[in-house]
Amino acid sequence: MSDKSKVFVYPKDVTAFGFDWGRLALTVAPEVNGAKRFSGGVVDLPSGQGHSRHNHPGAEEIIFVISGNGEQMVEDEQGNPVVQKVGPGCTIFVPESRFHSTLNTGDGPMQLFVVYSPTGPELALRDLPDFRLIQPEAG
């Protein structure tokens, strides 16, 4: 059940999706605050970790690097992987249904902010074998 009054949301205050490669805390989503046209949240990737090649059928994605350094792959229109080193301040646009992956190549954590439009592709993450829910921090 969403709380439409939740317009200011911190990642520590929401239930996060945990994986062997890191975590995603959705801070904007229909189930969090009633967002209708997009969803988004903070991704934390430990050093050496990342999410493997995947896509979001029917959805576009924006990835903004908050901190850390890594390699971002986004396939071109012909399905060829294009890999670029990315760091703080870089915005990555993932066109609709395009395969992509992210790897933290730095010595410390990497933090991203991701946006999906339309909302919904993040829910498929619940079907991954290493998926687990991480409860909000107390207090």
State the pLDDT at residue 12. Answer: 95
pLDDT, tens only, 62-107: 999 999 999 999 999 999 999 999 999 999 999 999 999 999 999 9
Give the confidence band of 139 by pLDDT, cuts at 50, 70, 90.
Answer: low
The percentage of residues in the chain with a pLDDT greater than 90, rounded to a whole number, is 84
State the pLDDT at residue 38. Answer: 95
Instruction: Find tokens 């062997």 and name the residue.
Output: 20
Structure tokens at 76: 């071109």
Structure tokens at 5: 């009054």
pTM: 0.92
User: Strand ranges (DSSP E) for the chain?
Assistant: 16-19, 22-28, 39-45, 50-54, 60-67, 70-75, 81-86, 91-94, 100-104, 110-117, 132-134
Does the domain at 12-134 match CATH 3.40.50.300? Answer given as: no
120: region left, alpha or beta (phi > 0 left; psi from -120 to 50 alpha): left
* Alpha helices, DSSP H, located in the chain: 30-33
Give the confidence band of 1 by pLDDT, cuts at 50, 70, 90.
Answer: very low
Average pLDDT score, the chain: 94
**Stretch 40-66: mean pLDDT, rounded?**
96
The percentage of residues in the chain with a pLDDT greater than 70, rounded to a whole number, is 96
